[in-house]
Every structure is written in C-alpha cells, then in structure tokens.
Amino acid sequence: MKVLIINGPNLNLLGVREPGIYGSRGFEDYLAELNNRYSGDVAIEYYQSNHEGGIIDKLHENGFGQVDGIVLNAGAYTHTSVAIADAISAINTPVIEVHISNVHKREEFRRHSYISPSCIGVIAGFGLDSYRLGIEAIKEIQKKK
Ligand code: DQA
C-alpha cells in the first residue's frame, strides 16, 4: 500500500514552532519512526509546502490511483482555502484531514474547516500520532474495498 502525507504551511517548523502546542519533535524524525513501523507494509511518501498551489498540484498528481490514500494536514489553509477543498473534491484518492492539535479547543477561527466536507474524515488532537491514525484509517478503507 502507498500513502502520501502532505503537510501545509509552517509545518516544516515542527519541533521549533510553538512547542507547547505542536511538541518539540521535528517531522523528519517522526517520519523515520513511521517508516520503520510500516516497513514492508505501507510505502510512505512525504511532501511539505508553504504554498497553496503546491499542495493543490500534489493532490492532482496523486489523485487518480497513484497512491491508496492521502493524509493531509493543510495547516492554516484548512480554515481559509476553498481551492484546496475543491482540489480534494476533484480527485478520487481518499483524503484524511489531520491536525496535531485539537483545533476545537483553540481559537474560534480554527473550528471551521473548508476542507472537512471534501475529506473522508478528520483526526485532530493526538499530537504527531494523528498522522499514524490517518494511515490506519486508509488501511481500513483499503481493506473494505
Ligand atoms: C494545525 C492546526 C491549524 O489551525 C494550524 O494553522 C496549523 C496546524 C494542526 O496540525 O494542529 O498550522 O493544522
């Protein structure tokens, strides 16, 4: 099975950025753990961009059978981007929306997601483990096919 993880804006700064909210571990380090855990089972591709268009292009490139599922943390674009929502709706690959923090426990503006209605489901608030839970969700979806 192939899964693509997409991280949006500012998530390249994980480990340094607001550690009280996002933790003190860099994503590359966590990704190595994920790859270890799923080796021989799930091939994980990773893409990060601070640009809306980059995320949209990546969704298009992987939206038609290239991977079995996409785990997407769109960062702040979650709360602003109709264009990313439209891209998710336009593709066939299942997309799971994930957030490290519990966005419902934070500022009011983080409670609304433009992308949730286009995604299969949402995982939020489990720290970096939200990504693993996203992969598990994709494994279950593929099992049922
Ligand atoms: C986030 C939550 C968003 O509100 C925020 O803009 C982020 C990260 C999270 O993973 O908790 O950049 O998506």
Each residue's pLDDT tens digit, 57-81: 999 999 999 999 999 999 999 999 9
Burial of 43 (0-12, 13-18, 19+ CB in 10 A): middle
- Closest ligand 1 atom to 76 CA: 6
> HSE-up of 21 (CA within 13 Å, CB side)?
14
Q: Residue 41: how many CB atoms within 10 A of its CB?
A: 10
Which residues have CB under 8 Å from 129's CB, separation 6+?
none
pLDDT (mean) for 106-128: 98
Give the pLDDT band (50/70/90) at residue 145. Answer: confident
Give the atom of ligand 1 at the shortest distance from the alpha carbon of 101: 11
Residue reference for tokens 């690959």: 93
If you count them, how many residues does the chain have?
145
Q: Is 7 in the pocket of ligand 1 (CB under 6 A)?
A: no
Confidence of residue 130 (pLDDT cuts 50, 70, 90): very high
| CB distance 123 to 133 below 8 Å | yes
Distance 40 CA to ligand 1 centre (A): 30
Report the pLDDT value the prediction gives residue 71, as an integer from 0 to 100: 99
